[in-house]
């Protein structure tokens, strides 16, 4: 085939691109490509050149014949035509064929791949020093929401709605500590006469939904009583005639 053996050239670059050792198994190769290709996909904000390099490295190393030639003689041997040539296949075609033409984020890929993806989506959220989360507050995380329409590898915002749990009661020391970090109380000066005219009272818990139902029921009963009295008065008047 060749008059002389090809000159040996770089035979580690493709492994370095994928972040695996040259002893990596085919399964390790697939895992490395899958993880790196999703991370660097242009539609997800990745580097197009890096995405292309990943696809080319995977194409060579996933072919046993090309991988053997690459390991022995390096990248130049493939460029010179050994092993059927290095080839310039579309990196997007390689990516789609790797995932069976489906979407690794859901919507066409294997169900096992989608379950693994969800299991890996653990977000560690760091708050700014001294930041206070208020009740019913909303915040957002970019690029962690639902896939965008017609751009499945780009995701929108993930919105977080905060519910703040308050204790049922506080000790006196806790109240003082809390008062030290809250804004100062509004100062209201009242005369002795005004204080004497005040009526001291207390608060109690109330269920607003139950209160609304009670008021609706009471209003309906009042309407029914008025209606009965109206009809009763007409009957008495008719009897007198």
Q: Let me know whether 18 and 83 are in one domain.
A: yes
Q: Let me know whether 151 and 65 are in one domain.
A: no
Rounded to an integer, what distance in angstroms lies between the CA atom of residue 218 and that of residue 135? 34
The answer to whether residue 210 is domain-embedded is: no
Q: Let me know whether 65 and 143 are in one domain.
A: no
158-161 vs 151-155, strand pairing mode: unpaired
Q: Let me know whether 101 and 65 are in one domain.
A: yes
The answer to whether residue 17 is domain-embedded is: yes
Q: Let me know whether 148 and 57 are in one domain.
A: no
Q: Let me know whether 105 and 142 are in one domain.
A: no
Does the pLDDT value for residue 151 go beyond 70?
yes
Domain extent, residue 162, equals: 133-166
Query: Which among 57, 85, 120 is the end of a domain?
Result: 120
The answer to whether residue 174 is domain-embedded is: no
Question: What rounded mean pLDDT belongs to the chain?
Answer: 78
Q: Let me know whether 115 and 149 are in one domain.
A: no
How many C-beta neighbours within 10 Å does residue 86 have? 19
Q: Let me know whether 140 and 109 are in one domain.
A: no
| 87 contacts 61 by C-beta, under 8 angstroms | no
pLDDT in tens, 29-79: 999 998 898 888 887 778 889 999 999 999 999 999 999 999 988 888 888
The answer to whether residue 175 is domain-embedded is: no
The answer to whether residue 55 is domain-embedded is: yes
The answer to whether residue 232 is domain-embedded is: no
Report the CATH number that the domain containing residue 112 is assigned in CATH. Answer: 1.10.287.110
Q: Let me know whether 22 and 105 are in one domain.
A: yes
For the ranges 13-27, 77-91, 174-188, 210-224, the lowest mean pLDDT is seen at: 77-91
Tell me what the mean pLDDT of segment 11-24 comes to: 92
The answer to whether residue 156 is domain-embedded is: yes
Does the pLDDT value for residue 143 go beyond 50?
yes
Does the pLDDT value for residue 199 go beyond 70?
yes
In this prediction the pTM is 0.41
Q: Let me know whether 28 and 104 are in one domain.
A: yes
Query: Which among 89, 120, 151 is the end of a domain?
Result: 120
Q: Let me know whether 69 and 97 are in one domain.
A: yes
The answer to whether residue 88 is domain-embedded is: yes
Q: Let me know whether 111 and 31 are in one domain.
A: yes
| Secondary structure of the chain in HEC code, one letter for each residue | CCCCCCCCCCCCHHHHHHCCCCCCCHHHHHHHHHHHHHHCCHHHCCCHHHHHHHHHHHHHHCCHHHHHHHHHHCHHHHHCCHHHCCCCCCHHHHHHHHCCCCCCCCCCCCHHHHHHHHHHCCCCCCCCCCCCCCCCCEEEECCCCCEECCEEEEECCEEEECCCCCCCCCCHHHHHHHHHHCCCCCCCCCCHHHHHHCCCCCCCCCCHHHHHHHHHHHHHHHHHHHHHHHHHHHHHHHHHC
Count the domains in the chain: 2
């Amino acid at each position: 085939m060749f008059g002389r053996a090809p000159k040996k050239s770089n035979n580690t670059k493709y492994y370095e691109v994928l972040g695996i050792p040259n002893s990596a198994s085919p399964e390790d190769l697939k895992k490395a490509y899958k993880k790196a290709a999703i991370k660097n996909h242009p539609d997800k904000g990745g580097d197009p050149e890096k995405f292309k390099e990943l696809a080319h490295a995977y194409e060579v190393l996933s072919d046993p014949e090309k991988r053997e030639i690459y390991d022995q003689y390096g990248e130049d041997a493939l460029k010179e035509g050994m092993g059927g040539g290095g080839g310039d296949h579309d990196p997007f075609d390689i990516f789609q064929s790797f995932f069976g033409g489906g979407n690794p984020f859901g919507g066409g890929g294997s169900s096992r791949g989608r379950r693994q993806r969800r299991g890996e989506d653990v977000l560690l959220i760091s708050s700014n020093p001294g930041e206070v989360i208020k009740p019913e507050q909303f915040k957002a995380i970019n690029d962690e929401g639902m896939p965008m329409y017609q751009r499945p590898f780009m995701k929108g915002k993930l919105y977080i709605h905060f519910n703040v749990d308050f204790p049922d009661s506080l000790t006196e020391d806790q109240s003082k500590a809390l008062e030290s970090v809250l804004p100062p109380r509004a100062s209201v000066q009242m005369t002795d006469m005004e204080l004497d005219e005040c009526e001291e009272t207390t608060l109690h818990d109330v269920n607003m939904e139950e209160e609304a139902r009670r008021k609706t029921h009471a209003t309906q009963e009042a309407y029914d009583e008025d209606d009965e009295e109206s009809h009763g008065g007409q009957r008495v008047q008719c009897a007198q005639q």
